[in-house]
Structure 1
Amino acid sequence: MWRHVWLIAANGLRRSVRDRSILIQAIAAPILIALVVGAAFGSGFSLNVTVGIRDADGSDISRQIAQGLTGAGGDGIAFSAVDTDPEAALDSGAYDAVIVLPRGLSDSVLSGQPAQLDVVGEATDPLAQSVAESVAAGVAANLQTARVTAVAASAVGVPDPGAAIQRAVTAPPPLTVEQGEVTGTFSVMAYFAPGVAMLFLFFIIGNGARSIIEERREGTLPRILAAPVSAGSVLLGKTVGVLIVGVVSMTLVWLVTWLGFGAYWGDPIGVFLVIVAAVVAIAGISLLITGLARTENQADALTTIVALLFAVAGGTFFYGASGVLSNLRLFTPN
């Protein structure tokens, strides 16, 4: 039995090697598409926002806030004083958003009244506006501290409320947050290359599985079954051939992206076991589709639909998902 199985599998492999379309789908296409995606997103996310600070109050408190902000900044975020109208500053293109310290800010803080900061941004750049709003929220938190201090100082009769406010605002925070940067933990190529390879794997394995329909149409299958070979040996031989093609395809894509482009998929033994498991799963799905289809065109259409549905649900075309989609992808081979 196994002799017949391996002969049928070897025959299927020879046909696959001679078929250029299978070689393109198995190796070239997944790597090329992963390269295109990597070129499009490989530079990662880059933040470059310039926030202007417009001091319309001109008081000691507003000047301290403006000086504190303009002396801050970090990677991708810069602050700069604005002497013109906020709208004109945005129109100049030098600023992505402007935080306005309005007139009467100091009086509101010293009297314990609510103070308001204004953020002016472009509707076409919501990211810069969100950054400016976050900074303004941090400033508002400090102003709230000053406001509470002013109310408390007035209630207990502190002779110099302004000095108490200054101490409260400039005091070091009781809790500090240490920030760290994590680098090198995500590779676009390592994410998209396996997903794209899995997509093409449906078509590769589907071609092998559909050869049963083709041989039945051409009359080859009845002649094979007329020989001293059981139907189970024929099916098993076709399946083994399909599995070998799928494992070789995924393994080559893995090796090329890993050794050639530095895309680390994980522990080699674990990766290979996952590849084998994924190929077996897709082979089972393809054989099921072949059993349900009456013609090659029906099998092609069903394979395309199922492959695209699994690709979308499994996150092949996009990164990150939440809710139902994040749970649904756990049930896909992608």
Structure 2
Amino acid sequence: MRPRPISALVVANIKRQTRDRVGLFFMVVMPFVTIMFVGLAMGGADDKIPVAVVAQDSDPTARAVLEQLEKSPSLEVRRADSADEVRTDVRRGTVAAGLVMTPGSTEFDLVLTQTSGSGMAARSEIDVAIGKVSAVQEATRAAEKAGATPQLAEQYVAEAQAEGGAVAVRNSGGDDGTPSGFAYTAPANLLLFTFINSMAVAAALVESRRIGMVRRTLAGPVSKGVVLLGEGLSRLLVAAAQAVMIIIVSSLMFGVSWGDPLGVGIIVGLFCLVATGAAMLVGALVNNPQQAPAIGPPLGIVLGMLGGCLWPKEVAGEVLATVGYAFPHAWAMDGLLALTRPGTGIGAVWQEAAVLAGMAALSLGVAVVVFRRRALQAA
């Protein structure tokens, strides 16, 4: 197979793509604008989720809950003066959630937006803090009923807590927690924009067919396999360039740690192959250059929603989260998020890589068959 015709096709396609200013905006600028604003809304670079709390220091229960919340490494606790202030801050998005503790009451008001991933994460931390305080109070009351004085009951509970602190739970393969802030939005938008822009540039393939570029190429001493490889390599380079640019810029601008380079390279590379196959398939099926941008990006957004690229899959519910695993975004997202955890390598994401490899083979295989029948035979 001759390298010169292939490189000529690749160069011609890349030049045509760089002349599309709207396309360049969505490839070069839009991903980082999205990462910045959504990342800030989810907690920013420090991954701490802001929560507003109304509490009176004179109330022992409220004070104990507040102390537990301030100990959480995932929360940034902000004191508020009133319930109205908390609701306003949650509505504006300046905090992910709010907790209003009325003095003397054992029922607290939790304020959050149900569709917010950071709000749901904050609720989990708040539930843990309240649970710890409630457990201490229940243990203290039980000791007093058994005949201990309040002071002695408090001492017994403190001793029990100290002994319980020696017990640790080690995660042996489960989820260590979903990252937030830029650590979440950078991988999410890498997958989202790599797929969307790959589907959008399928319009260039349709345009090549419309203006007869494919037909003129085949008129020369060039085989159909060379044309197929050149067109596929062009789409793969666009997808890879989009992904590499997001990885580099997000690391420099937002301090995102992507994890094991080999693991990230394999997951991202396989996803780019899936996106390439999808772009080739759309480019072969549609007959008008305007149809590709009308079909590809909406499809990419829907798959991104199902795969957790727009919000954590937990927010979408169990049914939609399960449906998402029928598509590559969910598997790639799981793999990239797993690799952000310290000490995680390619061995921890072999299942995601295997599924993506199968999807890439299927996507490219179908695209090759359809492209040969519709684009090459018609030429």
Q: Same fold (TM over 0.5)?
A: yes
1:248 positional shift: 1.5
- Structure 2 length-normalised TM: 0.61
Which residue matches 1:30? Answer: 31
List per-residue Cα deviations over 1:276-328 (Å, max 9, x = no partner).
21111111112222333233333333212320121001111113526344444
Which residue matches 1:258? Answer: 251
Q: In structure 2, give the amino acid aligned to 1:202.
A: F
Q: Which of 205, 217, 220 is the equivalent residue of 1:212?
A: 205
In 2 relative to 1, CA 315–166 (structure 1 residues): closer, same or farther, beyond 3 Å? same
List per-residue Cα deviations over 1:83-120 (Å, max 9, x = no partner).
xxxxxx978989931353xxxxxxxxxxxxxxxxx425
How far apart in 2 are the matches of 1:72 and 1:332? 42
Q: In structure 1, give the amino acid aligned to 2:143.
A: T
Q: Which runs of 5+ in 2 are unaligned?
A: 72-80, 87-98, 114-122, 169-177, 330-379
Question: Does the aligned pair in 2 maintain the 1:209–1:286 contact within 8 Å?
Answer: yes
Q: In structure 2, give the amino acid aligned to 1:35.
A: M
How far apart in 2 are the matches of 1:129 and 1:233? 60
1:98 counterpart SS class: coil
Q: Which runs of 5+ in 1 are unaligned?
A: 55-65, 79-88, 101-117, 150-160
1:30 counterpart SS class: helix
How far apart in 1 are the matches of 2:107 and 2:61? 19
1:29 positional shift: 1.2
How far apart in 2 are the matches of 1:67 and 1:187? 32
Which residue matches 2:137? Answer: 139
Report the more deviating stretch, 29-38 or 1-10: 1-10
Q: Where in structure 2 are the equivalents of 1:264-283 lying within 5 Å?
A: 264-283=257-276
Q: In structure 2, give the amino acid aligned to 1:32.
A: V
Q: Could you tell me the percent identity over the aligned residues?
A: 25
RMSD: 3.9
Which residue matches 2:219? Answer: 226
How far apart in 1 are the matches of 2:5 and 2:184? 39
In 2 relative to 1, CA 69–218 (structure 1 residues): closer, same or farther, beyond 3 Å? closer
How far apart in 2 are the matches of 1:237 and 1:93? 60
Q: Which of 327, 331, 342 is the equivalent residue of 1:332?
A: 327
In 2 relative to 1, CA 131–211 (structure 1 residues): closer, same or farther, beyond 3 Å? closer
Q: Where in structure 2 are the equivalents of 1:122-161 lying within 5 Å?
A: 122=109, 134=131, 135-136=133-134, 138-147=136-145, 149=146
1:244 counterpart SS class: helix
1:4 positional shift: 1.6
Q: In structure 1, give the amino acid aligned to 2:212.
A: G
Q: Where in structure 2 are the equivalents of 1:233-244 lying within 5 Å?
A: 233-244=226-237
Query: Is the counterpart of residue 171 in structure 1 residue 127 in structure 2?
Result: no
Which residue matches 2:318? Answer: 323
List per-residue Cα deviations over 1:46-79 (Å, max 9, x = no partner).
344343488xxxxxxxxxxx7697588526569x
Report the more deviating stretch, 305-314 or 13-22: 13-22
In 2 relative to 1, CA 178–325 (structure 1 residues): closer, same or farther, beyond 3 Å? farther
How far apart in 2 are the matches of 1:39 and 1:293? 39
In 2 relative to 1, CA 17–99 (structure 1 residues): closer, same or farther, beyond 3 Å? same
Q: Which of 184, 192, 200 is the equivalent residue of 1:191?
A: 184
1:10 positional shift: 1.6
Q: Where in structure 2 are the equivalents of 1:53-92 lying within 5 Å?
A: 73-74=66-67, 76=69
Q: In structure 1, give the amino acid aligned to 2:297.
A: T
